[in-house]
A and B are shown apart, each in its own frame.
Chain A
Amino acid sequence: MKIDKENLIGLLADKTGMSRDEIEEQLEQLIKRIVDAAERGKALEIKEFGLFYFDDEGTLRFDPSEELSTEINFKYAGMEPIELKASRDTSPPPVQEEEEVELDDDPFAGLDDLTSGTKAQQSEELEPTEPEEENPFEKIQERENDPFSGLLGDASSKMNEEVEIDEEEDEEFIEPIPKKEPQKRVSPKKPGKKKKSSDPITTIIIVILVFVFIAGGYFIYNEFFQNPEPPEPESTVTQSDDSAPVEEEPPTVLQPLEPEAENEVIEPEPEPESVNENESLYGLMGSVSDAANDGFSIVVHSFGREEQARNAAANLSSEGYRVLVSSRTVQGNETWRVSLGQFPTIADAQENASELPSPYNTENFIQRIQTN
């Protein structure tokens, strides 16, 4: 469908509540500003939208922002270039590239070549002159946290990371159990452990370091802790007590926490719990969290009337899903979308979408969460 200037003005007027005349004037100003900046050899950036500038031939060009490009390409998230034929020599490939690309039309050309560096430096950010404006900050933050920041390629690697994290969690749950028993039985050992690290802050720092360590070296972790555990839990404790404090770091760290908190009641869960808190910010089930509105959601219904959307949402809610209802204007008509879950990345959302019951697993699409 084609949106001409009249349509656009109408849409903008609807969105802002301004009059058409006012919108028209603002639009003129925006265009004027873009062209003025371009004439001065600068690029004008509209945050999270793109960059306007004159190219070498004096044609006005637009480079979409990474956010916009990624969003348009969400279908292909996780697809990476595949090397079919290796390089002839081992020296790094020349920057000079592809035969077939018409540089002018390549939106990424600007990203690749050197001129983009200067462009970016020169770029004048479009910060409206009104002081009450909170946008710039909001935008900057969004950008920093933006799950898109890694383009297509990153999505799959993120997925891998997540898989690893899941496995770690499982272990986290398993791990404390053997410790629990030995501790009850061998209670006299506790004081000894207490002495080892008395400062709770140090303990916390160590815990954090250990997590970093775990994330970085999952296999090492696996070897050190998986192996000793199953055969004799008791020996694990004695080991960690007497020898090899470096290798056995997590046990020595985890255990002081417990006596400090409460001597009698041993809570093996404190760590998994904190993991859960982070996790529960996003998810498919449960209730909607405002803090997770910077993510993505799986759209499963689209209705013309709000009432229908609310009904469908209520049904899904009763099944335990996290349900969001949002409205968008599609081709001039208001549509109400019902979407499930809040996910930090598109890849996450896709993974969850594929596990939904039929027909949602095939009939869905992912959108960025929008709060109206």
Chain B
Amino acid sequence: MSDLHTYFNLMKSTFIKAFKEVLREQILNKNKVEMDGFGQFEVIHREQHQKKYEDGRVVMMPPEDVVEFKSEIRSSK
């Protein structure tokens, strides 16, 4: 039975919602979230930097924080 349960993937909506919220909160608090067997979320700060385009334009990019996800999972293909 439990196999069947898993097979049909009965994922609870409350769980998904909570998952999103908790991760969002943690990420916004600059916490690193590590999930064994899946990967880790981390916020990386990027200072402002100059970006050079091939056409000669040079653009100053504003600083930004980005979410970085690192995973040990590789495609089996």
Contacts and interface: CB of A to CB of B under 8 A. Distances in A.
Interface of A: 1-5, 8, 11-12, 15-16, 18, 23, 26-27, 29-35, 38-39, 46-50, 54, 58-62, 64, 68-69, 71-73, 75-76, 79-89, 91, 93-94, 96-101, 105, 107, 126, 128-130, 132-133, 135, 152, 328-331
Nearest to A67: B24
Contact of B67 (A5, A50, A75): A50
Interface of B: 6, 8-29, 31-39, 41, 43, 49-69, 71, 73-77
B24 A68 contact: yes
Contact of B51 (A35, A50, A86, A98): A98
A50 B58 CA distance: 30
Given A33-B11, A126-B16, A83 B57 contact: yes
Contacts of A94: 53-55
Given A71-B28, A105-B68, A23 B60 contact: no
Contacts of A101: 51
Contact of A97 (B53, B58, B74): B53
B20 A80 contact: no
Contacts, number: 198
11 contacts: A4-B35, A12-B22, A15-B22, A18-B12, A62-B41, A68-B67, A76-B65, A87-B57, A88-B56, A107-B68, A152-B64
A133 B65 CA distance: 33
A135 B19 CA distance: 14
Nearest to B51: A98
Contacts of A31: 35, 37-38
Contact of A26 (B11, B22, B43, B61): B11
A361 to B, nearest CB: 22
Nearest to B76: A39
Given A49-B24, A50-B67, A68-B24, A2 B61 contact: no
A313 to B, nearest CB: 21
Contacts of B49: 100
A179 B8 CA distance: 70
A30 B73 CA distance: 14
Given A5-B36, A8-B33, A87 B53 contact: yes
A11 B15 CA distance: 11
A330 B29 contact: yes
Given A69-B67, A76-B65, 7 more contacts: A3-B32, A54-B75, A58-B75, A62-B39, A68-B24, A94-B55, A105-B68
B15 A130 contact: no
Contact of A152 (B19, B57, B62): B62
Contacts of A75: 65
Tell me which of B10, B25, B69, B77 has the highest count of chain A C-beta atoms within 10 A of its own C-beta: B69
Nearest to B67: A64
